[in-house]
Amino acid sequence: MKTDVRATVNVYTPVVYDLPFPRSEYEARHARVKREMANAGADATLVTMPRDFSWLTGTRVDFYAAESPQWLIVWAGEPVGIVRRLEATTHRCCSFVDQWVGYPDEGPVNPYDPVQYTVKSLEQIGLADKRIGINLRVTPVEEYERLKTLLPKARFVDFRVEQIRVRRSAAELECVRRANNINRATLAETIETIGPGWSEWDIVMHLCAGHEKRLGEEYFYSATGATVCQVGDHMLHMHVLRTPHERKQKRVARGDGIWIEPGIFVKTYVGCMIRTVWFGEPPQRVREALDATHQAFDRLARVMAPGRTSHEVDAAARDYLTAAGFEMQHRSGYTANERWTDAGILSLTPGNPLVLEVGQVFHCPMHVFLPGIGYVGSSEQVVITETGCEILGDQSVCPRRLYVK
């Protein structure tokens, strides 16, 4: 089998796509990774997680459509990308990285196989017997075992670019702040406008139109998934997929509650929040629940600070809600970044010893389950600062409260 990994000549008409951020931003990201590699004693690291790969390259190739592995070797020299040959030319046109190796669609089971081409690349740049970092949280066992077999002299260490990536730069935080304020203004306008007879689909489309109006030519997409809008008894079922037809059939009537959780993306960085709306007089238990979730969030925000553990922060909210007699079925926060959630990296959960650091952005959903009614609550995005935390966005716009219409 041919395994020549030399870069091929670009025979396609050259098209240059702008990077999401200036090259200096990507240079700074690579420098941060290399500093942490030095601290960990790693001579190179294999970046295999799609969000980490995108963060370091700026590529426009849509992994979530192609689902073909995209790997990156970060080391002392120029980074090397190992990608599917079908997409290699696209990466060359829209990425911070200059060196690309394309692997073919081949193999009897999985046609997407970057491992042998990664191994050849490591051999060619003299890293086959060095300490190589890999993310043990996301690396498939099969690929890990093949790497160890093909690189018997290498030593593999657990090294996670994701832990570096979640400490956001000033440029990234600016995207999150803009997205948050756009989302707040759009949600406030939507809550003011909707009325009986509106369908779930109407509400989602109104949110999308408001996002596009405020972002203009920068608008790419809004969140339209399972939890953006749930009316009435749909509030009983979290994260259920409904067809457009089902959403169009579900219309607001007097006595209905509405869970609204819109999200807008600025350069893939999300601004998101939850609000509860009620048409007519809400049950007393709903009022009590919303008051309790707001108090719980205030307690959580007061203890969110660098050096605090995830467990400590979660307990500030969870213990309060439990003592108030409510059922909290979920984590009290998770890192929210590109394409919304990075919950697998860091979540605020009981017993979690991971420590909060400056620059981490969390979405903090404070909601409880009420039997026969469903999920009610609210949420905010928060960034960890040197002295504590900052609740993102203008809180005078669409503030935390129960919206009764």
Collapsing DSSP to helix, strand or coil, 145 comes out as helix
Give me the residue spans of the domains in the chain.
Answer: 23-165, 170-404
Residue 116 reports pLDDT greater than 80: yes
DSSP one-letter code for 140: -
pLDDT band at 327 (very low <50, low <70, confident <90, very high): confident
Q: What pLDDT does residue 27 have? A: 98
- Going by pLDDT thresholds of 50, 70 and 90, the confidence category of residue 14 is low
Q: Has residue 41 got a pLDDT over 90?
A: yes
C-alpha–C-alpha distance, residues 53 and 71, integer Å = 7
Say how far apart CA 112 and CA 107 lie, in whole Å: 8
Do 94 and 21 touch, CB atoms closer than 8 A?
no
Q: Is 90 exceeded by the pLDDT of residue 107?
A: no
Average pLDDT, the chain: 93
Question: What is the per-residue DSSP string for 189-232?
Answer: HHHHH--TT-BHHHHHHHHHHHHHHHHGGG---B--STTSEEEG
Report, as an integer, the average pLDDT of 201-207: 97
Residue 3: what pLDDT? 43
Task: Work out the pLDDT band at 16, boundaries 50, 70, 90.
Answer: confident
What pTM did the predictor assign?
0.91
Residue 134 in this model has a pLDDT that exceeds 90? yes
Query: Of residues 35 and 8, which shows the higher confidence score?
Result: 35
Architecture of domain 170-404 in this structure? Alpha-Beta Complex (3.90)
* Tally of CB atoms within 10 A around 317: 26
Mean pLDDT of 364-373: 96
Mean pLDDT for the stretch of residues 52-77: 91
**What was the pLDDT predicted at 7?**
45
CA distance 49 to 163: 12
Reported CATH class of domain 23-165: alpha beta
Copy the structure tokens of residue 23.
């090259």
CB atoms within 10 A of CB 216: 7
Q: What pairing do the DSSP bridges indicate for beta strands 257-260 and 131-134?
A: unpaired
Segment 258-286, tens digit of pLDDT: 999 999 999 999 999 999 999 999 999 99
Question: CA-CA distance, 349 to 257, in Å (whole number)?
Answer: 28
Distance, in Å, from the CA atom of 295 to the CA atom of 79, rounded to the nearest integer, reads 48
**Residue 138, pLDDT above cutoff 90:** yes
- Segment 116-140 mean pLDDT: 96
What pLDDT score does 38 carry?
97
pLDDT tens-digit series, residues 157-184:
999 999 999 999 999 999 999 999 999 9
Give pLDDT, residue 53: 96
Q: pLDDT category, 108, cuts 50, 70, 90?
A: low
- Output the pLDDT for position 109: 66
pLDDT, position 5: 44
- Distance between CA atoms of 260 and 377, rounded to whole angstroms? 10
Per-residue pLDDT band at 341 (split at 50, 70, 90): confident
Least confident of 31-35, 62-66, 316-320, 372-376: 62-66
